[in-house]
Each structure stands twice: as C-alpha cells, then as structure tokens.
Structure 1
C-alpha cells in the first residue's frame, strides 16, 4: 500500500457534480435505485433530473453574476491550479514539507514489538511499545438509528502518523447505506468482518466502476477521488473494517444526505448545471433528512411517487 502523500499531485482527478448525458455527473456512476434511496426520492425522479441538462460542460446562466472563486480557479492554467491546491493543503493543516519522515513500516513494527536497534552506550536497546488501541473500546465518531462509524487518524493514535495510514470501523444496520461519498485524500481498503451487502463504486467521469455483492471475508478497495457507497443487505447488519492511505483526517465529501456538498453549494449555478429550477433542486436535496448513514426506503418512509407534488413538475 502506497500512502497517498507519496503520490504526485498530477494524480488529481476532476469531475462534474452537475451535468446530464454530456458531461455526465459523478452521480451517474451509481445505480438509480441507490441514488433514489440516498436522496429519499423516487427512482424516476433521480433519472429525470440526471438527464435534463444537455448543453455540455459550459451552460448559460439567465442572470449575470460576478465571477465566483471557483470560476477564477478554473481559469488558471493546470500547473497553477496544482500549485494553488498544494498551497491550500499546507495552509489547512496538511503535511509540512520541511518535516523529515523519520519512521517507516519497519520502525513501526519494531515499536509495536517493543524493540529497537542498540544505540551507543545501550547494549540491549530495550524499548517500550506505545499502548495498544482497541477500536471496540472507543465511542463512535458518528451514530444514528441506522448504524455507526469510528475513524482513527494520527491525532488519535500517534504510531499511525509514522506508518502513514488511518483505520476505520463501520457497522450498518440491515438495509442501510453509507451515503455516496468521495475520499479527497486517500485510497481506502475494506475487509468485511460480518454480514453481507453491496459495494458500488463509480469512476470520476460518471460511469460505473463496480457494483458487487460482498460477504464476510471479502476485501474491497476504492481509489482516491472515486465516488462509492456501501449498502447492507436486508437480512442483517454489515460490519467492515479497513485502512486509508493517509494518517491525516480523511474528511469524506458526501454527495447525498443532510451534510452533502450538493446541499452546501445549492443556488442557481448548481440548479442550472442540472437544467432545473432552484426550487426543484432544493426539493430534491432536502428530501433526505439523515446524514452519513442513510436508512432503507422502508425505514425512511420513501414514497415511490415522489415528494411534495408541485416540486416534481416545477422546472
């Protein structure tokens, strides 16, 4: 496993949030029924909103607006964009370029096993390992009626900083899902500990990369920048454990739910990128009241005919 910090910034992947057939929204990499559950609307509603915009990557706004920060960023040359992103990462608590990497996987192993090479004047080189950390002894970072999750990074357990990995544990109740999201800083490896379910992964270009059933003992991995979600089967809970290739806080960007990036952006620009009205988009984004771990359609009181009648036809 290569830590994501070791990968050059040229691996940065861009994608479209809004869009229709061309360009495709990153959301189209998921099964329509999965999106319907994630947004708590009907399948037809999702398919319709993801097929309306047909003007291409540059769309016309009916009203003029002053240039946004994002539009100014997109006007930069590619190398200037990468330099800007690197500066933002450093300014927001990212890695310090001047800090030497003092630890390696071998040193981490030596630390855990309580040994180190003898130093001058120290014949045996005895060394105490750091305290062990049991994920099951920790309180969940997030919990609701549909499941819980725990994430461990370098701020929680110092040895992770030297190994360059993070650790997580997720438990989804029967029929629930981890909301579709993107990891901006790390690749993720998962191991199914118990139960069964489905893992859906999309490409950044909006096509489907994988839609596979998983069971106890299966291993899956999600590349950085690829949208994905995990769904528990209706027969029982799904529990999985795994690693991320970064010791920093991952900060996943959710694409559906109360805390989604789409809901945070909102506004006429995003609505126009989907080819719908502000009111129409707001109705779609606010239909899901839960965040992070989302309920099954039955638990959410999902209505196949849609929501708030007038919003369905108000384009």
Structure 2
C-alpha cells in the first residue's frame, strides 16, 4: 500500500513537519517558533485548494514556459499523444514513453504507454520481463485475458496434489474479464496477457509499467514472435512436431503487435479468406 506524505500543508491537509519536535524544527529551519507555527498550522482548506484568478494565470504561465522542478532541472510537460507511435497498423497503434523521453520517469522507474486497439482487433499476446503493468481503460470496451500459474497452484489442495502437479508439469489458468471505460487491472511481470477490442468501438488502454528499468516487452505472437528466434532443432524438440509445421504456424501472421481479433478472424475463415495454419500444434 502507498501512502501520500504531505510536506507543504498545515492542519488540513496535515503537514508531516508538525510531527517533529519544536526544538528540531527551530534548529532545522533556524527560525523562531512563532514563525514556524504560522507556516505549518495555517492551512485548513483541505487537500483541494481554490486558487485566485491571478494565481491561476501565474500557474498557467509557468506551465507554458516550463516550470522549475523542486529537486532538479526545469522541464516542460510531456504530451504522449504527440509522440510518434512505436507500433502502428490498421489494427491499432502504440505510443510509449520512458526515461529517455521524459527524465522524470527515470526517477520514478516507470514506463508509460497508450494503446489504441481498433474495433475487432487485438494487441498480440505478450509479457514484460521486469515491469508490473497497471492498466486503465480510458475508452471503449473489450476483453482481457491473463495467464497465471499461481492461481492453479492455489487451487491445488494437499501434498498429494502438489506431487501430482510436479509430475504433470506446471499448469496454468486463464484469468479472463470483460473491461470497459474506467476498469483498472494489473498484469504482474512475467505473466502473458492479451487484450481484445469489441467489434463496436476502439479499446484504449493507458498503462503504467512499474519497475521499468531493464524491462523488455516480449511478443508471443505475430510477425515478431519471440519463438521465431528458436533454431530448427529446438522448435522440433519443443513442440514435438516437424520444423516445417512449426514454421508454418509461426510465420502465418502478416502483422505484428496489433493483429486481427478472434471474431474478425472467424468471419474471414467463414468467407474462405486468409490462411489457416496447423493450430493443433498448440493443442487448443
């Protein structure tokens, strides 16, 4: 759980400075006690404070010119929507920002991204190596699926089940939910996930990647599928299938990052369009 610590305040919001002894405060600020009391006790307007028109004009001017950061260099606001998409095709676009774009993100160890998934489309299954993602639906509706090994282990009861699972190998469960504007969900690091937009409107996802340093987003389907980096023998051994059939499935997607959604794909198949790879390779 995160808590907000208020320094610049008074009685409401309460300033944490008021918790220090008066002696410490006098020494720290080299100021008389009566002045310190006025400084740290006067504010009683609450966490949301109404500014005068003059104060609003001054704040607006500082923002437009680039304000001075309390702990570092002066920076202008960063508009993610003005950045060129890192990935874009007819199925959607992805804009991303990290420490190289906005130094403040370096201090917080956060990545920020905005995915706009076209109606009926999906963002390819993927996972993050280091970052835990907090995702907010800022527009549209759709469906989210997260693969979770922990859930299946929690459902096992007793030592016998545990030993049985070890013999079978790890088992995964799918956590699935419909999402709409205002929905917030979390994808832990290392957990594969996918988001599919509804056929009625685009799905917009604002994402904050926590613990972003050295993070890599790994794509599990599409033209840039990480499995395509495996050599021929490894593919054959991993899937217990001839390499030719593995190649056929992995090379079938014509696009990357944003792909045709499941319902759109089914519609194409009914029309006899598109290519059908040997899906039994993955035993769906």
Bin for the TM-score computed over the shorter chain: 0.5 to 0.7
How many residues are paired up? 195
Structure 1 residue 188 corresponds to structure 2 residue 133: yes
Higher relative contact order (CA 8 A, sep 6+): 1
Shift of 1:219: 0.2
Distance 1:302 1:288, change over 3 A: farther
Unaligned runs of 5+ in 2: 3-65, 150-169
In structure 1, the partner of 2:75 is 130
Q: CA RMSD in A?
A: 3.0
Structure 1 residue 251 corresponds to structure 2 residue 216: yes
- Richer in helix (by share): 2
In structure 2, the partner of 1:150 is 95
Distance 1:231 1:155, change over 3 A: same
Distance 1:159 1:247, change over 3 A: farther
SS of alignment partner, residue 75 of structure 2: coil
Q: Distance in 1 between matches of 2:280 and 2:128?
A: 34
Structure 1 residue 198 corresponds to structure 2 residue 164: no
1:77-107 superposed Cα distances (whole Å, 9 cap, x missing partner): xxxxxxxxxxxxxxxxxxxxxxxxxxxxxxx
Structure 1 residue 295 corresponds to structure 2 residue 260: yes
1:194-236 superposed Cα distances (whole Å, 9 cap, x missing partner): 1000110002545124100000000011000001011101111
Shift of 1:272: 2.2
Unaligned runs of 5+ in 1: 3-111, 118-126
In structure 2, the partner of 1:240 is 205
1:57-89 superposed Cα distances (whole Å, 9 cap, x missing partner): xxxxxxxxxxxxxxxxxxxxxxxxxxxxxxxxx
Greater Rg by CA: 2
Structure 1 residue 282 corresponds to structure 2 residue 250: no
Q: Distance in 2 between matches of 1:313 and 1:232?
A: 25
SS of alignment partner, residue 269 of structure 2: coil
1:237-293 superposed Cα distances (whole Å, 9 cap, x missing partner): 000112001343643111111101111214122222222111111111111111111
- Richer in strand (by share): 2
SS of alignment partner, residue 303 of structure 1: helix
Distance 1:175 1:313, change over 3 A: closer
Distance 1:279 1:246, change over 3 A: same
Q: Equivalent of 2:110, from 162, 165, 169?
A: 165
Runs of 4+ in 1 over 6 A off after TM superposition: 311-314
Q: Distance in 2 between matches of 1:241 and 1:148?
A: 12
Q: Structure 1 length normalisation: TM-score?
A: 0.55
